[in-house]
Each structure stands twice: as C-alpha cells, then as structure tokens.
Structure 1
Amino acid sequence: MTALSTLIGDVDEFFSRHLGKAALHRPGAASNLKNLISVEDIDRVLTGSALRTPGVRIAKDGTVIPADRYVAKSTLGYADLGDVVDPVKAVRFFRGGATIVLGTVNLLLPHLHALCKDIETDLGHPVDANVYVAPPHARAFEVHCDAQDIIIVQIHGSKRWELFDAIVPNPGGGKVVSDLDASSSTYELREGDVLYVPRGMPHLVRTADASSIHLTLSINTLTWADLLRGLVLEILRSDDFAGALPLGHDVAGQAAPMMRKYADLLSAALADRADADAVDRIVYGRTAFGDGLKTGLFRQALLDTPIDLADRIALRPGTWPVTTDDGRVTVGDTGFRLPREAVETCRRLRKGPMKVAEISPAPDEALKIASALVTLGLCTTGS
C-alpha cells in the first residue's frame, strides 16, 4: 500500500469520482502513517531553523500580517540577513489569535519530503507540504479557493472545514470568493483524519476551543495551459516567427490581416510537435521535477560502497529524467551529457527498478553506467 492509497483509499476510484470534482473525507486514515509530522518537528523548524520569509506567513481574520512585523536582523557567518523569522515575535502573534503557515516545510523535514515524493510518483504532478498552526477561535483567511488540489491531514487538535458545492473553473492561488450562492458541507477534522479538497472548491476554515495543526499536501497540478504554453514557446523560437512586424505609421493595422497566416502556421507546428517525446519534455522538464529525494547521497559518497551486479538500481523518488536521442538527460534545470547506453537506461528506469546486471550484457559496462547514474545523484542502488 502506497502513502497515497493510505490517505485517499482506492486510487482508481479517487481518480474517477473525486479528483477535481468532489471532496473526500476519510476519518482516521492517516493514523497508519507513522512519523508524519509532530509538534516537536514544528517547534524545531520554527524556533531552530533560522527560517526566512516567504517560508513563513502569518494571517489573522483574512489579513496577512506584513513580514517586517515578525522578522529580525540576523547573520549567517559574516553575512547580514534582514528576513529571518523571529520565533518570539511569531509565537506572540500566535498567542494573539494569528495562524502561522510554514511553507514547503517538506524541504526541512526529510521524512516529510520522502512522503511528498512518494505521492508525487503516483500522481505525476509535483507535491509539496505546508503546515498551518492555528490558535483557538482562529480564522486565518476568508472564503477562498486554491489553484491546487489539496489533501489535508489533521495532526493535532481539531479544525472545522466548510466546503461549498461549487468549483471555480480557473482558480488563482488563494482566490477570495464572494457572493457565493451555493450549499455547503461541514467537516470536523480530528487527529488522523484526511480531507481531500478539489482545486477551485471554495472553503472556509476555522478552529473552535482548542489549537490546531494540520498538514496540507498540495498537488501542484499541471494544466493544459502549462503544456501548451511550453510547446508554443518552443515553436516561437523557430525562424518562422523571427521576422519583424511591418513598418510604418499603422503597424497594428498592417499586421492584423496577416494574423491568420501565422495562426495557421502556429497551429500546424503545434500539431506536428504533439508527440510523446515533446509532451514528456514539457511536462517533466519543469523545475519542480528536478528536486528528487537526495537523502543518503552524501553517505553513499562518503562510504563509497562498491556497486554489485546483483544490486537493484532505481531512480531517486521524485526524479523524472527527460531523455533525448542525442545523448542528453535533463532533470529539472540540470542537464547531463551521457553515453547512449546510459540514456537508454534512464528511459528504462522510468518504468521501474531493475538489476544492475540487466543494464547491459557486458558486466563492466553495466557497472560503469550504474556508477555514473549513482554519482550524478539520479539513482540509488541496493540489494
């Protein structure tokens, strides 16, 4: 059972009945995920990590508190910093009824980072985690909808979620929704409960008589606009679109009749480029897919354990290599030039782990390729 199925149940049913369509409440579903995140983890992050804005936001009654009210001057070695969160000021706001939001806290807690990468592998979309620490009787934000699908896990205390039966088709991040004419459903989340909220579904979140901590797993959904924008930008770099617009007193008037020609040219080029490799390059070439789970990378280098033909080799969780026939592998913003056999190995590993000996019938070549992929931080090996 994967982390995703533990949280949301049957994955196929979730995709067909809930994803992007309807909320899903699963009481106690997260109880089986051990060491998810603890109060001690949050305390350590907030008070001992020298957090910098915008990694922390503080909000109360629909108003985001300006960051200059809870940061302090600090130093990093000889460098002066002016955006380090002062935990004393942050906690003072919390005591005064404000909610503390820790953004992408998965980057600070390895076990939470591993959870996000596990879910990301199942969904094929980037996933990160935010933590909301709310005092009693708190309402951080107005009724709003998110640009991401979110999976809520209640960590401590309880929280009341009011979800409205409407979907905003093109939501912006944290978009406030007013004049909402829709019925609503209320869910009282207790420790271990899970709630899925589709992107674009308006909601209002409040605490009652006790403090609350909940974890939000944000599925940073890639849209058709993201895909088409990437493909179009590639096309527009070609010589066909490099010519200057007409010259003269009425540039717009001269260019307007020519738009049909270039629109048709763009449409034809887009249809020609709509193959699996191009789509793969745009979808998985995003920066968010370059942040694979690097846990153990330094230990591996320090111990320098020899790779054996019987070892299994696998892509690091959250690593989505984009390969080309000219010997290039790109992961996020980082590119590598590799031998053809190593590029082909990356392609095969996208389908799942395999034994090192299966990389090549020549043992020396198999070990050489495995060693290169491990050294580059793309893969892990083990028995």
Structure 2
Amino acid sequence: MTPRTLTAPTARTAEVTVLSALDLLSGDAQAFAHKVWASRVHLHQTDPERLVGILSLDDVDALLTSTAIRTPAVRLAHNGSVLPESSYTKGGTLAGKPLTGLVDPRRLFDLVDDGASVVLQGLQRYWPPLTRLVGELEAELGHPCQANAYLTPPGSQGFAVHSDSHDVFVFQTHGSKRWEVHTDDGVQDILLEPGLVMYLPTGTPHAARAQDTVSLHVTLGINQLTWRHLVRRAVTPLLDAVDDGHLPAAYVDQPGTLGAGLADRLTALAAAVRGLDADALAREQAEGFLSSRPMSLAGGLRDRFALPGVRSETLLQRRRGRPFTLVDAPEDRVRVLLGDRHLDVPARLRPTLERVAERHELRPADLHDLLDPESALVLCRRLVLEGAFTVHG
C-alpha cells in the first residue's frame, strides 16, 4: 500500500479550523504543491496573529539575555560579512566544566548598536513553536526543513544580494523589511510586514533591509531531496556489488580488452537497474523520511506521570508537528510512522488507527465501538508513551 499522510490539510476539532503548516504559509497547500513549488516567487497575506506569536521580539530578548545560548546557535553579520565569534562570546563553567561560545549580551548589544544583524540558527531544535511548525511542514512536503531568525537594527542590511541553495518561506514577526527580489521578470520590491509570507525558490537572488524600526523575521529553509538523490540511493548498492578486481595489465596498449570487460559489467548493471522495484523504493523513501525526523517530546515527562490517571473520558491531544501515517507491514501487521520512529501493531487494529489518525483530539471512549474499554485504554496510553498524543485532561 502506498504510504499516505493522514494529517488532513484542514480538520475540524470542536468547530475550530486547524490549518496545516503549508496552508498557513501558502494560503492553499494543494495549489502551492502543484502550481508554485520550486518554480516561482509566491506571496500570501494571512492574519498576522497566526505568525507573530511564533517568535516575538521579547522571545529573542529572553533567548539572548536569559539563557546560556551558545554558538553556533547564534551568529552576527555586518555589511555582508559574518563577524568572528570571539567578538560577542565569552567562556564560563557549569558544574566545574568549561563552557565556550556563550553569548555575551553586552558585547552583542554593542555590535547591534553599530548595525550588526543577529542570526538565530536551527531554532527548530530549541524553540517549541518552530519545532511544531517545521515538523508539520516536513511531514507535508517530504523534505527536511530548518528555521532561522534574523534580528536587524533599523536601516541595516545583514547580507548583500545573494541566493540560497534551498527554498525558503519568510515571514515577519516584528517591524518591517524591504526585500529586493530578482526574478526572470525583473527586480521586485517587496515590503515584508507581519502577516505577509513570501516563498522564494532555490537560487532566487535577494537582499533585504530593515526600515525605520528593528526588524525580526523568520526564515524556514527547505533542503530539497532531488531525483538525483533518489536515483543515487537506488543505484549505489548495485554499483557496490560490481567486482572490485584490478583492471587488466597493459590495457593501455590493448584497450579492447578493457572495453569488453567494461561492456560486460555495464550490461549486468543495466539489467540490475531494470530489475529494481521503483514502487518499493518510493515506499521505502517515504517511510524512511517519516520515521527519521528529529522530534520534540515537550511535555513528555509530565505525560508519563499522568498515564496512570488516563481513563476512558480523559482528553488526549495530537502532538502538533508529528506525523501519524499508516502503511502495511509484513506478517499481517500495520506500521504507524511517528516522525522519529515507527510502531508495528496487528493489522486488525487498522480501522481503529485510521480513526485515531483523523482526530486532533481523542478520548479512549471514542474507540469503544471498535475496541473493548480496556484495550482502548492500552492503545491510547501506548500512543502517549510513543509521543503521538499528550494528556490534556
């Protein structure tokens, strides 16, 4: 069976519409995937409140001043150049062990006063709202994603015109920034303010300058998996199977002997390539991606302590940013792909799991027409342990 993502682009829970990450960023996930993806610049206007709260200026202030944030999570740029870490970091100790690369807020502020931009890198690893957003986006696109944020003082420009080796979604959470975007139709002048989301395909030249107030924007980078990547993955084992014996001696004088041996091996390799099961390789790619993503277990400790109190009417909530995809598995089993792992269960549970996959909120009692009450509790508790759901109440 071909894997299918069961997190719906739009689902209703208690009459509240839940937008998928791609709907939120593009306005229409299906239209984006078929008409925009990897082809052209796209702008989408949305409710500013949907995005501003993901990473506010106060959030960045707290990260820089009230945590032990270190490089390479932070870097500074000024006039198109990356500043040396030594200009804004210091050392320290923790439990008697030395720490290096700690951000020194006072030194960093002095550089910002001089026009330097602050870049927060890999935010999906330590900022929960972006962990969830990036996780959802990865599950929808099937491509690895990352999140950076750029804090730019008024009137400053962090980098000159440049292009990225990956696609990006960009959205403003404080202030405004004027973007110079180069396309086949010429140079576009785009003022990015909270509520406007911009998508740039790989290789789109651009530069941006903050306006009259400090600017904070988030960039979601999409590191594309390509056809070359997939073909290489399929063919590499066949290449590794080619014998590694020496080429014949003196072949430079008798290249025909080399050509004959090479022809035999290429013929065998071509036959092996023709024998590949493209559908099986595609399923392997999808399943591998959806069970090997870095995932956050925020609240997982609390959930474990809450498990004994889970009863039939206990409300569970689906963990945002985590896939829940069903595929067939060998030996009459069904496999649940959960982002950083998979769970194999008997195939008779498929109807139950399909119902679970449709829900953003769930009570064990919602499964009583499919499972006896005790079995429903066991399954729901297991899904909490695996990180697919959290205990809400």
What residue in structure 2 maps to residue 220 of structure 1? 223
1:325 aligns with 2:330: yes
In the alignment, the residues of structure 2 paired with residue 152 and residue 36 of structure 1 have an alpha-carbon distance, to the nearest angstrom, of 13
Write out aligned runs for 1:61-140 (5 A).
61-140=79-158
What residue in structure 2 maps to residue 374 of structure 1? 384
What's the CA shift for 1:5?
2.1
1:9-65 deviation line (CA, Å, top 9, x unaligned): 122332333221221223454344462221110111122222222211211222111
- Change in 2 beyond 3 A, CA 1:265/1:319: farther
What residue in structure 1 maps to residue 214 of structure 2? 211
1:158 aligns with 2:176: yes
In the alignment, the residues of structure 2 paired with residue 100 and residue 144 of structure 1 have an alpha-carbon distance, to the nearest angstrom, of 18
CA contact (8 A) 2:52 2:172 kept: no
Give the match's secondary structure for 1:145: coil
In the alignment, the residues of structure 2 paired with residue 358 and residue 222 of structure 1 have an alpha-carbon distance, to the nearest angstrom, of 42
In the alignment, the residues of structure 1 paired with residue 47 and residue 338 of structure 2 have an alpha-carbon distance, to the nearest angstrom, of 33
CA contact (8 A) 1:290 1:319 kept: no
Write out aligned runs for 1:264-303 (5 A).
264-286=267-289, 289-303=292-306
1:149-171 deviation line (CA, Å, top 9, x unaligned): 211111111111111114xxxxx
In the alignment, the residues of structure 1 paired with residue 50 and residue 317 of structure 2 have an alpha-carbon distance, to the nearest angstrom, of 28
In structure 2, give the amino acid aligned to 1:325.
Answer: P
- Change in 2 beyond 3 A, CA 1:122/1:328: closer
Structure 2 unaligned segments of length 5 or more: list them: 1-16
What's the CA shift for 1:318?
2.8
- Identity among equivalent pairs (%): 27
In the alignment, the residues of structure 2 paired with residue 278 and residue 115 of structure 1 have an alpha-carbon distance, to the nearest angstrom, of 28
CA contact (8 A) 1:291 1:332 kept: no
Structure 1 unaligned segments of length 5 or more: list them: 167-181
Stretch moving more, 274-283 or 12-21: 274-283
Give the match's secondary structure for 1:161: strand
Give the match's secondary structure for 1:285: helix
TM-score, normalization by structure 2: 0.76
CA contact (8 A) 2:176 2:192 kept: yes
Give the match's secondary structure for 2:48: helix
What residue in structure 1 maps to residue 14 of structure 2? none
Give the match's secondary structure for 1:278: helix
- Change in 2 beyond 3 A, CA 1:99/1:382: closer
In the alignment, the residues of structure 2 paired with residue 382 and residue 277 of structure 1 have an alpha-carbon distance, to the nearest angstrom, of 39
Write out aligned runs for 1:5-84 (5 A).
5-27=23-45, 29-33=47-51, 35-84=53-102
- Change in 2 beyond 3 A, CA 1:333/1:33: closer
In structure 1, give the amino acid aligned to 2:147.
Answer: A
What's the CA shift for 1:105?
1.6
CA contact (8 A) 1:289 1:319 kept: no
In the alignment, the residues of structure 1 paired with residue 58 and residue 31 of structure 2 have an alpha-carbon distance, to the nearest angstrom, of 35
What's the CA shift for 1:345?
8.5
What's the CA shift for 1:334?
6.2
- Change in 2 beyond 3 A, CA 1:330/1:117: same
- Change in 2 beyond 3 A, CA 1:310/1:350: closer
Give the match's secondary structure for 1:374: helix
What residue in structure 2 maps to residue 179 of structure 1? none
1:145 aligns with 2:155: no
- Change in 2 beyond 3 A, CA 1:66/1:365: same
What residue in structure 2 maps to residue 245 of structure 1? 245
What residue in structure 2 maps to residue 178 of structure 1? none
Larger RCO of the pair (alpha carbons < 8 Å, separation 6+) = 2
Which entry has the higher C-alpha Rg, 1 or 2? 2
What residue in structure 1 maps to residue 191 of structure 2? 188
User: How many residues in Structure 1 have an aligned counterpart in Structure 2?
Assistant: 365
What residue in structure 2 maps to residue 230 of structure 1? 233
What RMSD in Å do the two structures reach over aligned CA positions? 3.8
